[in-house]
Amino acid sequence: MTERGPEQTADESALYVFAVCNAPDPAVFVRLPGVAVETQLRPLRFGGLTAIVQTVRAADFTDEAWQTRMSDRDELERYARAHHDVVSAAAASCPTVPLPLATLYHGEERARRALLDETERFRAALERTAGHCEWGVKVYAPESPPPDQGHLPSREEAPAARSRPAPGAGLAYLERKRGVQAQRERRHEDALRVAETVDAAFQCIAASGRRLRLHAPEPAGQGRVQVLNATYLVAEHQAAELDALTRTLRDATGARIEVSGPWVPYSFVGEV
């Protein structure tokens, strides 16, 4: 797949492919910068479909360049948003299949050939997502009081208490420990159950659903624990039901439920 020959020079160009569409309106791309400042976004016709592409400097888009970019939040964000802007603009004008960030070819001919090979998959994806949008649903465990550890001897206290502990103190300590642990497990199970409930409810009105990677607990302060990060493909005429469903689920579960969308159906154009 990677063909970085030694002959590659600094000014060699590559073709960045953003999305594949039915029949985009070229006007919607005019003001968008894409991922390079020197060149314009342009359509690339292939097999009855149109890809939105941009010529870029190959040296800026190597694997190594991306590895560096991945570790720089601001850089990554700039590219992610630039990509998303183009995809969103395309989708606003016609049915669109987004490509993942950083799909690049050594030139127009190679890109056209690769895209042509996948024409059937693009058509299938366009068909599957026609008239649908993607909606993200994130569920956070209900806020719970901190575990009751008031009676546990702290690290500082324990060694300081030189006198022999009262008989049974060790057992009581262990039982309290066990209680805290059981409470934690119960909360965890409850949270998972809430996640399943919410997922099942959204699946009912969705054409399709996917679980995404859970986000790590938020740092310091809020400490919200995410228990579901899912995304659903919902028919446009059913999108209005999402609001009521979300409210009902919030009331029923007490969980914090965040809905985002409508998204271009990023998550539903691949092999689902």
Partner 1 sequence: MQREVVPWDNPEPLTGPIGVPLVDLLDRLLATGVVISGDLVIAIADVPLVRLSLHALLSSVNERVPAPWADGGPL
d(CA 252, CA 189): 16
The answer to the question of residue 84 lying near partner 1 (CB under 8 A) is yes
Backbone angles phi, psi at 26, to 5 degrees: -60, -25
Among 36, 41, 52, 104, binds partner 1 (CB under 8 A): 104
| Cβ neighbours of residue 236 closer than 8 Å, sequence gap 6 or more | 131, 132, 133
Mask for 163-202, x = binds partner 1 (CB under 8 A): ----------------------------------------
As given in the structure block, the two tokens for residue 194 are 């809430």
Partnered with residue 42 across adjacent β-strands are 53
Distance of alpha carbon 24 from the chain centroid:
25
Mask for 221-250, x = binds partner 1 (CB under 8 A): -x------x-x----x--xx-xx--xx--x
The answer to the question of residue 207 lying near partner 1 (CB under 8 A) is no
Q: How far is the CB of 213 from partner 1 (least distance, A)?
A: 7
The answer to the question of residue 160 lying near partner 1 (CB under 8 A) is no
| Cβ neighbours of residue 148 closer than 8 Å, sequence gap 6 or more | 180, 183
* Range list of H helices, the chain: 63-70, 73-93, 108-117, 119-129, 157-160, 169-205, 240-253
First to last CA, the chain: 24
Q: Which is nearer to partner 1, 43 or 153 (CB)?
A: 43
The answer to the question of residue 115 lying near partner 1 (CB under 8 A) is yes
Q: Which is nearer to partner 1, 117 or 175 (CB)?
A: 117
As given in the structure block, the two tokens for residue 131 are 């008239």
Window 5-64: residues binding partner 1 (CB under 8 A) = 14, 17, 20, 58, 61-63
Q: How far is the CB of 189 from partner 1 (least distance, A)?
A: 20
Mask for 53-82, x = binds partner 1 (CB under 8 A): -----x--xxx--xx--xx-x--xx--xx-
Residue 157 Ramachandran class (φ > 0 left, ψ -120 to 50 alpha, else beta): alpha
Among 100, 170, 179, 223, binds partner 1 (CB under 8 A): 100
